[in-house]
Structure formats: structure tokens, C-alpha cells
Structure 1
């Protein structure tokens, strides 16, 4: 991964150059530097899991949470890291009745 020296945005490769999609700044690619970088091309995509036929008791923990769509008072919950590693996780809810999804800080 290469970042633009001009604006700090992530750059993309275009033949023998790194090109910034934000400001257009270009930098020549350096094979020696890039050999230590991790590429997403070699990484496998994570598998999508179909939960449509999973029993409710196998879906995970539930808690008292009021669904903003159907007013049900139970929801499955899970924690996910969506910001930087030094920030707290966000709790996501899925209604046990209508399957509406929301996160804890949504209002």
C-alpha cells in the first residue's frame, strides 16, 4: 500500500506508476519497496454465510433491545470493530421478529 506524499490518500497502481485518485500525483513504482508490501490480490475472500435456515437458538446471544421498526423487545447482538483498532467496538443488533438490523448508536 502506498500513500500520496501530496495529500495522504491511498494510491493505486497504473502500469509503472503509483497514481493518487484524489489529487492525481504520480510516483514511479519501486520493485524493491513493493516486495515487502502485502497485496490483496493473493488474499482469499471471506465466505458469505447463509443464516436463513439457522434455528434462532443457534444465532447467538440475545438481549433486551427495542426494535425501531416493529417495537419487539428482543434482538440478537454482535460486536464488530469498524473503526481504528484503538477505538471501541460497535454493537450491532438484529431483531428476533422482523430481522431489522441497526447499531447501538443509531437514533
Structure 2
């Protein structure tokens, strides 16, 4: 990838020149410099792995009683819902019934 010295825009290749799409500035291409550049051309597509089913299992859990189903396990997460100088609020989601609540709701 090359950037224009005149305006800072990204340049594209046209033959043996780098050409700026914004201001039209041109710079000669140098094979030695370009040999260290990484391109996406010719790269093989990797295997796409769907993690959506395992995503819930990756969340941290803790021992806490659900008021809806009496299950004793819940996922938890911290969120900043007030001003930055205030502490985070912990949210729970029951691992059995999916009931959601905040730490101060109980």
C-alpha cells in the first residue's frame, strides 16, 4: 500500500506507476519496496467456523440464585451504564431459563 506524498490519499497501481485517485500525483513503482508489501491477491480463503452455538458457553458464570426458576447458575457481564466515574453494573442471565436481572434487583 502506498500513500500520496501530496495529499495523503491511498494510491493505486497503473502499470509501473503509483497513481493517486484524489489529486492525480504519480510515483514510479519500485520492485524492492513492493516485495515486502502484503496483498490479498492469491490468498486462499480459509475455513469459516460458526461459533454462534458455542458463544454462550464461553461467557463466565457464577453461582447465584435465579428468582424465576431457582437455578443456581447464571452468566454475568459488567456494563458501564452511568457516568465514567461510577462503578460498572453487573448483569446476570440464568443458564436455565434465560431470565435477566441486575445485581441490585435482588
TM-score (norm 2): 0.48
Which structure is larger by alpha-carbon Rg, 1 or 2? 2
